[in-house]
Amino acid sequence: MALKIRQRIAEWLWPEAKQYRVAAEELWALLDHIDTLPDMVKPDDGDLKAWHRMWHLTEQRFQKRHEFLETDGYDLFLPGTMPKRPSPGKLAQPTCAQRPGGCDA
């Protein structure tokens, strides 16, 4: 009961909370699927086909993570909300101290 109340308060204060919760639940389900793959495939040490199949199934599953959240490599965003990257021409130029040869180069 208290958990449901906290969830409703969080959703009221932060409207995206429900979307992030759904994404978290879906990502947890993906991790659970990946965790149970060895039980499904049961690869032996010498069975390269089974290992290949397990790798292929794992790769398929972890690619689905982009359906639920996007990342710029540092932060997570709901799909379609990630800010656009600046074009390479608008990036800040390094200061002389940041250049390989320093300020004397």
CB within 8 A of 30, min separation 6: which ones? 61, 62, 64, 65
* pTM score, whole prediction: 0.52
Contact 82, 70 (CB under 8 A): yes
pLDDT of residue 50 exceeding 70, the answer is: yes
CA atoms within 13 A on the CB side of 65: 16
Q: Per-residue pLDDT averaged across 57-70, rounded?
A: 82
Q: What does the pLDDT read at residue 8?
A: 72
Give me the amino acid identity at 42: K
Q: Per-residue pLDDT averaged across 71-98, rounded?
A: 72
Tokens of 97: 């101290």
Average pLDDT taken over every residue of the chain? 76
Question: For the chain, first and last CA: distance in Å?
Answer: 66
Q: Which residue has the higher pLDDT, 28 or 87?
A: 28
Q: How confident is the model at residue 79 (pLDDT cuts 50, 70, 90)?
A: confident
